[in-house]
Amino acid sequence: MLHDESPDAVEARERNFILGTYARTSFHPRSGKGARLTDADGNEYWDLLGGIAVNVLGHQHPRLVKTLRGESKSLFHVSNLFYHPAQGILGERLVRASGLLRAFFCNSGTEANEAALKFARLANPGRSGLVALEESFHGRTFGALSLTGHAAYRTPFEPLVPGVTFVAPNDIAALEAAVTDKTNAIVLEPVMGEGGIIPLTHEYLAAARRIADRTGSILIFDEIQCGLGRTGTLFAFQQSGVVPDIITLAKPLGGGLPLGAVLTGEAIEGVVKPGHHGTTFGGNPIACRLGCAVLDEIEQSALLARVNEIGEWFGGELQKLRTRMPSIVEVRGRGMMWGIELDRPAKEIATALMAKGFVVGTARDNVIRLLPPYITPKKAFVDFVAVLEEVLVEDSGPPLSRQPGAAVLHTQIAQGAISK
């Protein structure tokens, strides 16, 4: 069986036949249960990355397994020329839970953002300006990439979609200045993921709503990484009370299968007509049924309360660790979404954590990023804090030049205390 191939053989085949888009870590997870992963050599790990925010119920969750088994007896694909019940059922649940009005299904986060840009253009014809945030991440296709505020991702592919202005996160004055009556849409992640886990303040989101209303721009919240329970409410925007015109979702939505969604509000009503947009695979019946199972489990096992409770306690433990460890510059996040900004490269620390049984992610050069499953037991976090301390004590790597943490830096820039 292909599953039994040795790690070396797997890597050799990829080197020969797979396009080198990923700088993969030499880690070969082969099985998992709950928040545990087992690699090809039988080593076990706590999975604190959850497939980059996908596996919110961990691995082999009984509800997902049961749903998948049930669905395997049904149609694997139904063309979007025709009807199947699962899209409407999942769409209704997302619409009712968010307070928006309609759902469109696609296959990924980047596709959700592409669709959102097209819907915003239809709602605001003739206005092509877009405002997004420095260090944001919205995907890799031309539209989504054009909105991504990380130059290294964009530069090799320029020229991109024109008319995008980037502003610093949480800087209300900069947003005021950038958005005009030519702006089509403002695109924000309520908690920025790839940018290093930077929560946007409630005041900032409220200001964005005000500015969008004043200029007639569409307000789009990309909740692909921070949505669907990650920060303790089903949608991150619900903590601010600021309702956007469009929300984009993906990652955990399909229970591990590819599924993205765009939720649209009043501003988009009536503007999207048949033929304007579509996809062959979007809203696949199995993925939508798994999406319903994810929502059922979040609801019936009171996972939001758990995310809040563990998040609050864990955040406190990380802050305490920061006071003991000078190599931790800043700790940011909420719920099950945490960034630990270091004064040194995060990759080496992530490698050392893996050697001690923890799978974590990184963001930017110096942030350890945690996006664990919502079912992760408290013990995993207790052990993680102890092991991170151990690893940081052992690490003698040269610190990066000492700078304020990203969130502090943005606040200082916004307040005019320092310039960029």
Ligand X SMILES: Cc1ncc(COP(=O)(O)O)c(C=O)c1O
Q: Which residues bind ligand X (CB under 6 A)?
A: 52, 108-110, 113, 137-139, 189, 193-194, 222, 224-225, 250
* φ and ψ of 33, to 5 deg: -150, 130
The minimum distance between CB 53 and ligand X, in angstroms, equals: 7
Closer residue to ligand X, CB minimum distance, 222 or 343? 222
The minimum distance between CB 65 and ligand X, in angstroms, equals: 23
- Asked if 42 and 365 count as a contact pair (C-beta separation under 8 A), the reply is no
Distance CA 243, CA 240 (A): 8
Closer residue to ligand X, CB minimum distance, 55 or 108? 108
Unique residue bearing structure tokens 């403002």: 186
The minimum distance between CB 107 and ligand X, in angstroms, equals: 8
CA 86 vs CA 37, 77, 99, 254, 289: distances in Å:
30, 11, 20, 12, 6
Beta bridge partners of 36: 33, 46
Q: Which two tokens stand for residue 86?
A: 């699962």
Closer residue to ligand X, CB minimum distance, 225 or 366? 225
How would DSSP label each residue in 62-81? HHHHHHHHHHTTS-S---TT
The minimum distance between CB 154 and ligand X, in angstroms, equals: 14
The minimum distance between CB 362 and ligand X, in angstroms, equals: 13
The minimum distance between CB 194 and ligand X, in angstroms, equals: 6
CA-based Rg of the chain, rounded to a whole angstrom? Answer: 21
Closer residue to ligand X, CB minimum distance, 249 or 391? 249
The minimum distance between CB 378 and ligand X, in angstroms, equals: 26
- Three-state DSSP class for 34? strand
Peptide bond into 159 cis (omega under 30): yes
Q: Which residue is nearest to ligand X (CB)?
A: 109
The minimum distance between CB 416 and ligand X, in angstroms, equals: 29
- Three-state DSSP class for 255? strand
Closer residue to ligand X, CB minimum distance, 341 or 343? 341
Closer residue to ligand X, CB minimum distance, 222 or 330? 222
Closer residue to ligand X, CB minimum distance, 121 or 369? 369
- Asked if 223 and 327 count as a contact pair (C-beta separation under 8 A), the reply is no
**DSSP H helical ranges for 161-234:** 172-178, 202-215
Q: Which two tokens stand for residue 45?
A: 């790990």
- Three-state DSSP class for 261? strand
Closer residue to ligand X, CB minimum distance, 193 or 333? 193
